[in-house]
A and B are shown apart, each in its own frame.
Chain A
């Protein structure tokens, strides 16, 4: 089984993102960047399948600027065998990320495409489903477990009031929830090994993809609203607050 995984470079989860003074966009130029946490889960699961002798090759894909090479090195250290950078300095919307993935799928013909359920910057939660729709592949999204049974993949999905178990036939698209696994800690030898692995760079302009904006960003403002906290000392006061708010 050959697996294609997504490796998006995003602002680190611990960074508090601020907007530019003119409210035109976010200000992330000097922010610490990381591999999207959900992609870590996807890569971890692919690596486990390889260790179990089920997967034969894991290919990581990142779409973005030249700095995504760092992100791909991390993906390689986490167990991917080779990587593809689709280089562009533009911000690519999920629809076109999916189209780019489609092109790569047609070229690489993986059996399984394992993406994160969402990127923690745009919080879109779209690419996997869009790609599955474009390829007419089955999809299982927000998965928290995966098992191979008779060549099919049995997945448990996290849904609103519990879980749903689906069996998908390959080729398929899966998207990882954070509960899929616990990404391993990478050590120096793996990082050293990753330096020897191959990263192929494709210019986005060399792919035959017609891009158009589907949205226009009009304004970005600080989304954090702080409240004025009144401190109380006793449970009696707490009971009073619950009464005033008609909880009891």
Chain B
């Protein structure tokens, strides 16, 4: 078994998603090479080399990868992939965009959002918005897997010696068919995907102002990530990257607080692995209570101000 993990440089520090993928590596066999992509990677490569699961860091450092476009990297990755039995990447917007393209180039099947490793070729994953959990065996020579990070722990074990860092020459042609124009980063106090506590609001907040003065205010107090239902995002209270669910982010914090969330299957799909769920909903028959450890049948516009008041004391 030879495992490759792919990670992009997003900031100059380790992306926590990578630490969750390391846990999947541990479940598989224990060791991996890490291919890090981007521009000016020396610092980051050194940090990655310190982790115990890492045997080698492959550094693909080029100015063409300052903003990574898959068109400029997928073919070369496909070539690198051929030396491995398993290629793992976090099922985040980077991994989901890249790995299927690599699979298409190699004409190999790919398995998305693996939630548990059963054996080197058998994995667990959800389908149908989390309604169904399957065990699936890959019969491909190279297993291409995206990892649902919320179902794996952070593996932060460091080694006493640093792993070897190898520079790989950038050989992929640069595509003239695609151009990076700009990006817009939504500033966040706490990253939703890795937050230990998440405060989520739904449609019933009624406005962006109310969302801010209730959900965001409470999240700030609890140093929590801010989540939202699709209905809240569609109503324009909050940006899409806060959406939790089948088609948004999947989170598994220690504590998930849901205010005015009905509990549609598509929402539950994104939060059901949270350890403790607390739901506040005015309707006692709301499905969210079937997925909550603690429930409060109450008006969120009364509960949140009282809670903020109590926290201020």
Contact = CB atoms under 8 A, between A and B. Distances in A.
Nearest to A244: B276
A14 to B, nearest CB: 9
Contacts, number: 259
Contact of B103 (A133, A138, A158): A133
Interface in B66-116: 69-71, 74, 92-94, 96-105, 107-113
B178 A120 contact: no
Given A133-B103, A166-B179, 6 more contacts: A17-B128, A129-B101, A215-B136, A222-B131, A238-B296, A241-B278
B293 interface: yes
B128 A123 contact: yes
Given A126-B100, A221-B132, A133 B222 contact: no
Contacts of A128: 100
A64 B266 CA distance: 25
A118 B126 CA distance: 14
B183 A134 contact: no
B71 A138 contact: yes
Given A11-B128, A165-B182, A214-B140, A132 B110 contact: no
Contact of A215 (B92, B138, B178): B138
B246 to A, nearest CB: 7
Contacts of A208: none
A235 interface: yes
A161 interface: yes
Interface stretch (A44-52, A75-83, A139-147, A198-206): A139-147
Nearest to A99: B107
Interface in A131-164: 131-134, 137-142, 144, 154, 157-164
Nearest to B107: A95
B109 A165 contact: no
Interface residues of B, number: 91
Interface in B253-289: 254-255, 265-266, 268, 272, 276-279, 289
B209 interface: no
A160 B129 CA distance: 19
16 contacts: A11-B128, A18-B131, A26-B132, A123-B113, A158-B241, A160-B92, A162-B239, A163-B184, A166-B69, A167-B178, A214-B109, A215-B137, A226-B290, A229-B294, A229-B295, A238-B307
A45 B22 CA distance: 40
B186 A227 contact: no
A204 B185 CA distance: 44
Contact of B128 (A121, A218, A233): A121
B184 A162 contact: yes
**Which among A18, A124, A161 has the highest number of chain B CB atoms within 10 Å?**
A161
Contacts of B139: 213-216
A106 interface: no
A215 B138 CA distance: 4
B104 to A, nearest CB: 3
Interchain residue pairs A-B with the least CB separation, the first 6: A214-B109, A133-B104, A130-B104, A129-B100, A223-B133, A133-B101
Contact of A163 (B101, B183, B224, B307): B183
A166 to B, nearest CB: 6
A232 interface: yes
B306 interface: yes
Contacts of A228: 293
A54 interface: no
A186 interface: no
Interface in A82-115: 93-95, 98-99
A188 interface: no
